Amino acid sequence: MTKAAIILAGGKGIRTGLEIPKQFVEIDGKLLIEYSIDNFSKYVDFITIVCHRDYLDYAKNIASKYKNINISYTTGGDTRQLSVRNGLLELAGKNVKYVAIHDSARPLFSAELVSKLFDLVKTKKAVIPVISVSSTIANVVNQKVYKYIKRDECFLVQTPQVFEYELIAEAHNYFYNQKIFDFTDDSQMLFSLGWEIYTIEGSEINIKITTRNDLEFAKLILKNLYNFQFLKEKFYERTTTKGV
């Protein structure tokens, strides 16, 4: 059955203060986005890169590097939600059964996680990686604590997220026709329509690179792949799945 991945690379990386978007920064001989491509290439038949129109040449050059996988590219939309929809449209007609949706700003996930997500989606339709929180969580309104939230019921949602292609495509089309464009997470979109979202334990080092400090952390990990593998296996790749 055909599997695909949509890699979102539409951001311009303003908060990192770099001249180019962070996903195109070179770390240890590879562009940041290529770490994601490498992990997906073992498990999918198609990869679609969604990027800002100003950086389409970067996407074209990346696609030319990979001869063993079909990589296409398309431009992003005004919001993350619209960018994902563009990626889904790019995959239309390719008989994709399952699709992973991933932020290129998260290069520190593993190929093993991808494998587990695709295995679970066959029976669950929608699967996402999550991690628990260790800090106390408060709901703050107008700089005052409104209430405290039980942290054992709170989880941080990560990508890649894997779905049945037709299911997530129909959800995107529904909200597009409703002129609702501000969902920041694809699983949230399905949840709002009443679908069950299942979880698998993610990784604490699978951070979303937003600031310059985040980028330096990623460089440290990616330049020490042996240590990264040790940390991943020792601490973070637990396989317990939980239902939401």
| Tens-place pLDDT, residues 48-68 | 999 999 999 988 899 889 988
Q: Determine whether 150 is exposed, middle or buried from the number of CB atoms within 10 Å of its CB (0-12, 13-18, 19+).
A: exposed
Q: Does the pLDDT value for residue 234 go beyond 80?
A: no
Rounded CA-CA distance 60/186 in Å is 26
Q: Does the pLDDT value for residue 21 go beyond 50?
A: yes
Rounded CA-CA distance 24/18 in Å is 10
Selected residue with higher pLDDT from 219 and 6: 6
Q: Residue 243 has what pLDDT?
A: 45
Rounded CA-CA distance 78/81 in Å is 8
Q: How confident is the model at residue 242 (pLDDT cuts 50, 70, 90)?
A: very low
Domains in the chain (CATH in brackets) are 2-243 (3.90.550.10)
Q: Does the pLDDT value for residue 238 go beyond 60?
A: no
Q: Does the pLDDT value for residue 18 go beyond 80?
A: no
| Tens-place pLDDT, residues 168-207 | 999 999 999 999 999 999 999 999 999 999 999 999 999 9
Q: Does the pLDDT value for residue 17 go beyond 70?
A: no
CA distances from 14 to 91, 115, 212 (A): 29, 33, 10
Q: Residue 228 has what pLDDT?
A: 53
